[in-house]
Amino acid sequence: MDPGSLIASGRLRRFRRGLHADGDDVLLARQPIVGMLQDDFERMLGELLSMPDSSAASVDALTSRSLAAGVRHCLKETEGDGYWDFYRPWHGLILSVTDATYSNDTWVRVEGTGYFKLRIVLSGSLRASTGETLAQGPQALLYVSPGASREGYFIASGEPVRMVILHCRPSLLNRVLGLDVRDIPAPLDALFTPGKGTTRQRLALTPEMVHVARRIFESRHELSRALREPHLEILSRELLLQVLGLLDTRARVREGATPVNARDLARVYEVRDHLAQHYAHPPTIPELARMVGLNQTKLKAIFRETLGFTIYEYILDRRMERAAEMLLTGDYAIAQVAYAVGYDYPANFAATFKRHFGQLPRNWKQRQVEHDGH
């Protein structure tokens, strides 16, 4: 059903009547949002987030704000526990935040025409219908669909899923960010080239990307609405620009004076994916080099130039993010967390954690619990 038919059919009117605002000025949806067709999804959220607040003192249509800053889709009790929040920082972008644990493996349908999605998976995992792991937190997944497409993914049961998603239209790149089409890196450049097919690729998260995604996650509860809306605009832009920078770096590596061939890039990505799973007890650099058939110097150079950080920095980041996840989602002693992420001495782990997050593990966990309680 096209968006015009959606409105005419009265579904939007019924959806409006099934909403109410909570104390965080977020509308609570009584009908499903997750899995809607992209066009319907954007139109409905656009209409909902433009509904005027009848209690506002001003009646000026240009100055009065909408009823709510966002829309919340809560899981049914039979589905699990948690919710998805949806915001619209700018035209052409929907920002969603997932904080949920599903009781069963759950298929999320994604269909639409002419869009791209950036999924930042902080914890949990997404799988294809074939069973292949698409993303395992902390990791990013970029999906680019120049034409019509049908895809989706399974959210694994029993795993707390924390995810930030940017649902973007191509106009976001040239009209909002002001990029010339010639400056848009692959694979996003396919959005402006007729006849290009869909692409999907995993991206290793840099520490900066993880930090911004976590700020998006936390600031929804920390800030008042007046501050939160511009804050989410800035953070969404920052996250998108960081990904564009990563993609641009990859393109320059391929096209530089000493270009990296596709085979060597594949080897570097193989090393990255191996370390993502074996960060607690990683192979040495000589062992990694032998594993993929590259000499050590070349492996280290391509890894840093392509991904933006050294092999050691990547291992450290994976350890710290896993430690943070364990502290937040489980009842683990600090020593248990330290051993699980590869430290023989809890004191060394605590010191490293403080350098990374700015707080000792115990203090950091207490702060996160207090935020969630709000």
CATH of domain 256-373: 1.10.10.60
**Which parts of the chain sit beneath pLDDT 50?**
1-23, 53-65, 257, 374
Angle formed by the axes of helices 346-357 and 361-373, nearest 10°: 50
Instruction: Tell me the three state secondary structure of residue 145.
Output: strand
How is the chain split into domains, by residue range?
Answer: 1-74, 89-254, 256-373
Provide the pLDDT for residue 335.
93
- End-to-end CA distance of the chain: give it in Å, rounded: 39
Closest of 284, 279, 274 to residue 342, by C-alpha = 279
Provide the pLDDT for residue 162.
92
Q: How far apart are CA 181 and CA 63, in angstroms?
A: 34
DSSP line for 77-109: TTTEEEEEEEEEEETTEEEEEEEEEESS-EEEE
Q: What is the largest CA-CA distance in the chain?
A: 70
Interval 293-352: pLDDT, tens: 999 988 998 888 777 778 998 899 889 888 888 888 778 899 999 999 999 999 999 999
Provide the pLDDT for residue 290.
93
* Sign for the pseudo-dihedral over CA of 299, 305, 308, 313: positive
Q: Which residue has the tokens 């996650």?
A: 217
Provide the pLDDT for residue 83.
92
- In this chain, the answer to whether the domains covering 89-254 and 256-373 adopt an identical fold is no
CATH of domain 89-254: 2.60.120.280
Q: Which residue has the tokens 């700020």?
A: 215
Provide the pLDDT for residue 81.
94
Provide the pLDDT for residue 343.
94
Interval 41-56: pLDDT, tens: 788 787 777 655 444 4
Interval 149-167: pLDDT, tens: 888 899 989 989 999 999 9
Q: How far apart are CA 49 and CA 74, in angstroms?
A: 17
pTM over cut 0.75: no
Q: How many CB atoms neighbour CB 61 within 10 A? A: 7
